Amino acid sequence: MGEASGSIYDSLRKKGVSRRDFMKFCSLMAATLALPVGGAAKIAEALEKAPKPTLVWLEFQDCCGNTESFLRANDPTVAQIVLDLLSVDYHETIMAPAGKQAEKSLYDVVKNQKGKYLVVVEGAIPLKDGGVYCTVGGRAAIDIAKEVCGNAMATIAMGACAWDGGIPGAAPNPTGAVGVKDAVKDITLINLPGCPANVVNLTGTIVHLLTFGSLPLTDSMGRPLFAYGHRIHDDCERRAHYDAGRFVQIWGDEGHKKGWCLYQMGCKGPETFKNCPAQRWNQGTSWPVEAGHGCIGCAAPHFWDTMTPFYKRIEQVPGFGVEATADKFGAGLAAATAAGLIVHRIARASKKKSSEEEEK
């Protein structure tokens, strides 16, 4: 590894990737990025010339889920990404060196390739108590992030945690965990939220950078539009059942067997923007809704706080027990009002009677 050498295409060819497979990859990327006709050729042209970019992968408060997602890349396979598409110089989970040697390779990149390398951040960064709740090699995550992201060409925050704190940042957030966007200011950053993020979107973002020299267009929350521009509900294969009013009502019921809409089971597809229905998971095999489980909204802001309960349409009324849905509470409120008015009417009647008696 070390200094980038040769073009991506050259090294892919050396590894035995055929021209056909290379073009298939370029086409996949062009489709993912929703480029117009000719996009694949443009990507191919760029990758034939582009030098291999160096990439370092930082893990902070994470579960390694995005790494797992990354390892499941199949176009090209992870071996090809690691060895050929990118020069991954530091990745705690998959690198060979350990201890001081490993840390040295990280800081060598920061020193020698200042402003030229890419960083992927996985996991949240705790800020409370000086950042003591997550340290790597004795350094606080926040200090590492500031140095490594601050000197990079671009930072990719991969997964919900690196985006906005995710699960470590969920209430009551004991470690003061935040995402990269709140921890490190004034850096070139793109966010790929999701729990985990889809590796196709990571590859797409990097290919866009290599082809056009810039990061893809983003929405107001810093997420690339090619991946987060469409609502899951609008691209869902079960959408027709939603419009028809055919809903799964209990897990395993007739509707569930027939593949009806999971809306009533708390699916958060209508609240979530991501390209899951198009890209799918595990080599394009399936995705949650296709597998019969509603979307949990993992690409939505603070999803662990805002999208729960995962199996209900809306949150519960706090302080009224586990089954206090907004509708039960509201209906109770209306009934209580009606009862109160009836009591008031009776009171009026008895009042009138007594005043009439007084007049007599």
Partner 1 sequence: MATERKKTYVWEIPVRLTHWVNFFSIIFLSVTGLYIGGPFIHPTSSQSYTMGWMRFIHLLAGYTFLMMVIIRVYWAFAGNRYANWRVFLPLTRRQRHDLGDATRYYLFLSKKPPYAAGHTMCAGAAYFVLFLLFLFQIFSGFALFSYNSPGFFHTLLGGWLTAFMNIQAIRFWHHMVMYFIWVIALIHVYLAVWLDSVEGNGLMGSIFGGYKFITGKEWE
CA 290 to chain CA mean position, Å:
19
Contact (Cβ atoms closer than 8 angstroms) between residue 155 and residue 190: yes
Question: Three-state DSSP class for 228?
Answer: helix
Question: Distance between CA 31 and CA 39 in Å, rounded?
Answer: 8
Q: CB nearer to partner 1: give 94 or 336.
A: 336
Question: Distance between CA 255 and CA 136 in Å, rounded?
Answer: 49
- Which amino acid is residue 58, in one-letter code? L
Helix axes 19-32, 199-212, angle to 10 degrees: 100
Query: Beta strand pairing status for 135-136 and 139-140?
Result: antiparallel
Q: CB nearer to partner 1: give 132 or 240.
A: 240
Cβ at position 328, least distance to partner 1 in Å = 10
Question: Distance between CA 333 and CA 330 in Å, rounded?
Answer: 5
Cβ at position 85, least distance to partner 1 in Å = 34
Q: CA dihedral in degrees (130, 134, 138, 141; nearest 10)? A: -70
Cβ at position 219, least distance to partner 1 in Å = 9
Tokens 């949650």 found at: 288
Cβ at position 135, least distance to partner 1 in Å = 32
Question: Three-state DSSP class for 191?
Answer: strand
Cβ at position 264, least distance to partner 1 in Å = 6
Q: CB nearer to partner 1: give 106 or 298.
A: 298
Question: Distance between CA 103 and CA 97 in Å, rounded?
Answer: 9
Q: CB nearer to partner 1: give 2 or 309.
A: 309
Q: CB nearer to partner 1: give 78 or 317.
A: 317
Burial label, 62 (beta-carbon count in 10 A; 0-12, 13-18, 19+): buried
Cβ at position 326, least distance to partner 1 in Å = 4
Cβ at position 308, least distance to partner 1 in Å = 9
Cβ at position 313, least distance to partner 1 in Å = 6
Q: CB nearer to partner 1: give 91 or 233.
A: 233
Q: CB nearer to partner 1: give 117 or 260.
A: 260
Q: What's the chain's length in residues?
A: 360
Q: Which residues bind partner 1 (CB under 8 A)?
A: 231, 234, 240, 242-247, 249, 263-264, 270-271, 300-302, 306-307, 313-315, 317, 326-327, 329-331, 333-334, 337-338, 341, 344-345, 347-348, 351, 355
Contacts of residue 60, Cβ cutoff 8 Å, sequence gap at least 6: 121, 122, 123, 124, 125, 126, 134, 136, 141, 145, 161, 162
Q: CB nearer to partner 1: give 9 or 263.
A: 263
Cβ at position 333, least distance to partner 1 in Å = 5
Q: CB nearer to partner 1: give 94 or 331.
A: 331
